[in-house]
Structure 1
Amino acid sequence: MTKIMNIASNYVDESLEGLCLAHPSLCFVGDERRVIARSQAKDRGKVGIASGGGYGHLPLFCGYVGTGLLDACAVGNVFEGPTVGSALDSIETSDGGAGTLCLIGNYGGDRMNFEMAAAMAGDNDIRTRTVLGTDDVASAGEDEADNRRGVAGLLFAYKCAGAAAEAGEDLETVTRIAQKAVDRTRTIGFALAPCLPPGRDTTAFTVEPGTVDFGMGIHGEPGLWHRPFTSADDLAMEMIDRLMAERVSGMSSKVAILVNSLGASPYEELFILYRGARRLLNERGYEESLTMVGPYVTSMEMAGASISLCFVDEELETLLAAPAGCPFWRTS
């Protein structure tokens, strides 16, 4: 597969440079030039929100740096976690004196490096808290939910925590809200074709023509079960059934829904999938408080999609609707 690049070793750095040139609201921070932050002056007294992860998922992670969302984001190589130094830079850049929430996906390298960076930030009198995205229902059973990966549903936590921080809430409140968004969000995805990271000769897994690979990871992890492709409506039913099986008793009948392209699947196909998912939700008595359809969390040119549901309450619904602005998502 031919990629639009110069040399593979410069792929991330040149792409990030282009991102910042195209969007002046973003800038580099730190000697490694692997932290993207807001260009505007830091808001003193506001809780900061830092994130980070491997490259190759735009708009996730660094594409959501902006007002009402992230303050800074550390960027690793393609599908690799950021360094401790970059994680520390993102925490320090985000801090406005009220502490920083580290909101990251539940991946070993990301978690370890942010833990070390948070300890170093503490030595510099920066208070931190950490919330891990764990929305991927296919990556672990319900009794091991803390071991699940963070995938597209992390976006709901970004938005809710970012809105709370922008409203002036303190670190403990912002942390509570982020954790609530994580606890109320479930995601499942499927692949129709894998991606090929730059500089590699083979894909991490294969998908036979005419089949669906369920439960794959956004870093190229292979799926957990496979079946022949039948129809978009059948996919929607299988996904909604799986997500609804974990609805916690007492949750409201309002949901925010994200139908997400993993990179190559176009809007036309996403809307067909969304049509089926919406019909199923309506038949089961659910009302949509927010609808998002598009490539919000990708895995390079992987073909496929994911569906995320956040079972919102009044607090989360208000925060999801609050104003926010970044290069890839804007609400007003």
Structure 2
Amino acid sequence: MKKLINNPESVVKEMIEGLLAAHPNYLRKLENINVIVRKDAPVEGKVGLVSGGGSGHEPAHAGYVGYGMLDAACPGEVFTSPTPDQMYEAIKAVNSGKGVLLIIKNYTGDVMNFEMAREMAQAEGIEVDQVIVNDDVAVENSTWTQGRRGIAGTVFVHKIAGAKAQEGASLKEVKRVAEKVIANVRSMGMALTPCTVPAAGKPSFTLQEDEMEIGIGIHGEPGTHREKIKHVDEIVEHLMDKIINDLPYKSGDEVAVMINGMGGTPLMELYIANRKVAEILKEKDIKVYKTYVGEFMTSLEMSGFSITLLKLDEELKALLDAKADTPAFKQL
């Protein structure tokens, strides 16, 4: 195992210390627990937004804490759900009296722990609601989920729900737009290489030199199948076919596109993939409103990418365009 770390047991602690050192104007950490919150949390008159999950997906989720997106993020150990205590402390830290919305990726541990934290906070009289993101069209049930997995489409939920909350909307309204995004966002990914969890010290799975895995999860969970590596245009065609057929589009529809690198993919290759995505959408008369290319929800050093399409209407476009200022996502 080759990694730029000190001790496998301290990677999350040291990552958080480095994150805080890099972004002191955006973020602070709660005392004695791994919870990252907005520097100005709780924000008066605003619904609090809390998300989180296992570490190893950076910049998700702490990178999206800031103006117009999340109020708190709970980083667990690598590829491991945060604890209910982390989530409970996050809820309390961002609650300004208007309630808190939990944005949960659909993984069994995340859902269970967030729901426990929600019940703990509700017992103290805090109004808490939740949404569960399940944008991955690859597989219906997987190693760590009942139903579809939540992957890079979660970032669009952070952005749009965050913009609605920043306007001062009610908890009911923030949840409504979050659910609207979830209903209209679809993703699918692939991998050329595995990744190595530092504490494990060896790759989470193996692929032959000429193999790729289609539909893989962000923790290295199995996808739909393995096959010989193909040209990227063919890979994009397959992923796009699955995504578009899962949420039918009509001529003239508008979408936001996210080409998400898994941690070990050069931007050059992501832009080549986006070239084909744009070509397919043009052929289908689906208009691209905005495109995001980069690393938004990674899988350590895995080489591969995912495609996310979000079908837009006027409300979602306005919220997507709203100001956001966080370490990893800025729209000023």
Q: TM-score range by the shorter chain?
A: over 0.9
Q: What is the rounded CA distance, in whole Å, between the counterparts of 1:126 and 1:251 in structure 2?
A: 45
2:246 match: secondary structure: coil
AA aligned opposite 1:14: E
- Which residue of structure 1 aligns with residue 119 of structure 2? 119
Give the structure 1 partner of residue 59 of structure 2. Answer: 59
> Is 1:104 paired with 2:104?
yes
Query: For residue 17 of structure 2, what is the aligned residue in structure 1?
Result: 17
Cα distance in 2 for partners of 1:90, 1:138 equals: 32
CA distance in 1, matches of 2:36, 2:262: 22
In structure 2, how many angstroms separate the alpha carbons of the residues matched to 1:122 and 1:99? Answer: 10
Q: How far off its partner does 1:200 sit?
A: 1.6
Give 1:177's aligned residue: 177
Which residue number corresponds to residue 213 of structure 2?
213
- On the 8 A contact 1:54/1:77 being kept in 2, the answer is yes
User: What TM-score does the superposition give when structure 2 sets the normalisation length?
Assistant: 0.96
1:201 shift after superposition: 3.0
Q: In the alignment, residue 247 of structure 1 is paired with which amino acid? A: L
The question of whether the paired residues in 2 share the 8 Å contact of 1:216 and 1:224 is answered with: yes
Misfit runs of 4+, over 3 Å: 248-252
CA contact (8 A) 2:97 2:126 kept: yes
1:169 to 1:146, Cα distance in 2 relative to 1, 3 A: farther
Check whether the contact 1:102–1:130 (CA below 8 A) recurs between aligned residues: yes
Which residue does 2:304 correspond to in 1?
304
Question: After the TM superposition, which residues 76-225 of structure 1 pair with which residues of structure 2 at under 5 Å, given as runs?
Answer: 76-140=76-140, 147-225=147-225
Aligned counterparts, 1:241-252, within 5 A: 241-248=241-248
Contact 2:252–2:287 (8 Å) recurs in 1? no
Is the 1:257–1:309 Cα contact (8 Å) retained in structure 2?
A: yes
**CA-to-aligned-CA distance 1:233-278 (integer Å, 9 cap, x gap):** 1111111111110124679710000000000001000000000110
Q: Which deviates more, 146-155 or 110-119? A: 146-155
Secondary structure of the structure 2 residue equivalent to 1:53: strand
Q: Distance in 1 between matches of 2:155 and 2:291?
A: 13
Q: Match for residue 32 of structure 2?
A: 31
Q: Distance in 1 between matches of 2:280 and 2:3?
A: 38
Q: 1:76 to 1:160 in 2, by over 3 A?
A: same
For residues 10-61 of structure 1, the C-alpha deviation after alignment (integer angstroms, 9 at most, x for no partner) is 11001111101110111101422x1001112422120010011000000111
1:222 positional shift: 2.4
Residue in structure 1 matched with residue 232 of structure 2 by the alignment: 232
Counterpart position of 2:73: 73
Q: CA RMSD in A?
A: 1.5
Residue in structure 2 matched with residue 3 of structure 1 by the alignment: 3
- Within the alignment, does 1:315 sit opposite 2:278 as a pair? no
Contact 1:252 1:312 in 2 (8 A): no
Q: Structure 1 vs Structure 2: percent identity of aligned residues?
A: 40
The whole-number CA distance in structure 2 between the counterparts of 1:176 and 1:112 is 22
| Gaps in structure 1 of 5+ consecutive residues | none
Which residue identity lines up with residue 72 of structure 2 in the other structure?
Answer: A
Q: Which sits farther off after the overlay, 126-135 or 196-205?
A: 196-205
CA contact (8 A) 1:30 1:89 kept: no
Structure 2 distance, partners of 1:176, 1:233, is: 36
Which whole-Å CA distance do the structure 2 matches of 1:176 and 1:298 have between them? 27
SS at match of 2:233: helix
Task: Output the CA distance in 1 between the equivalents of 2:223 and 2:148.
Answer: 14
* Separation in structure 2 between the aligned mates of residue 231 and residue 89 of structure 1, nearest angstrom: 47
Contact residue 52 and residue 82 of structure 2 kept, 8 A: yes
| Partner SS, residue 247 of structure 2 | coil
Equivalent pair of 1:185/1:311 in contact (CA under 8 Å): yes
Per the normalisation by structure 1, the TM-score is 0.96
d(CA) in 1 for partners of 2:105, 2:248? 22
- Which whole-Å CA distance do the structure 1 matches of 2:250 and 2:115 have between them? 33
Q: Which runs of 5+ in 2 are unaligned?
A: none
Separation in structure 2 between the aligned mates of residue 140 and residue 218 of structure 1, nearest angstrom: 15
Give the direction of change, closer, same or farther, for the CA distance of 1:100–1:251 in structure 2 (3 Å limit): farther
Decide whether aligned partners of structure 1 residues 308 and 249 sit closer, same or farther in structure 2, where only a CA change above 3 A counts: closer
Does residue 331 in structure 1 map to residue 331 in structure 2?
yes
Give the C-alpha shift of residue 102 in structure 1. 0.2
Q: Secondary structure at the match of 1:190?
A: strand
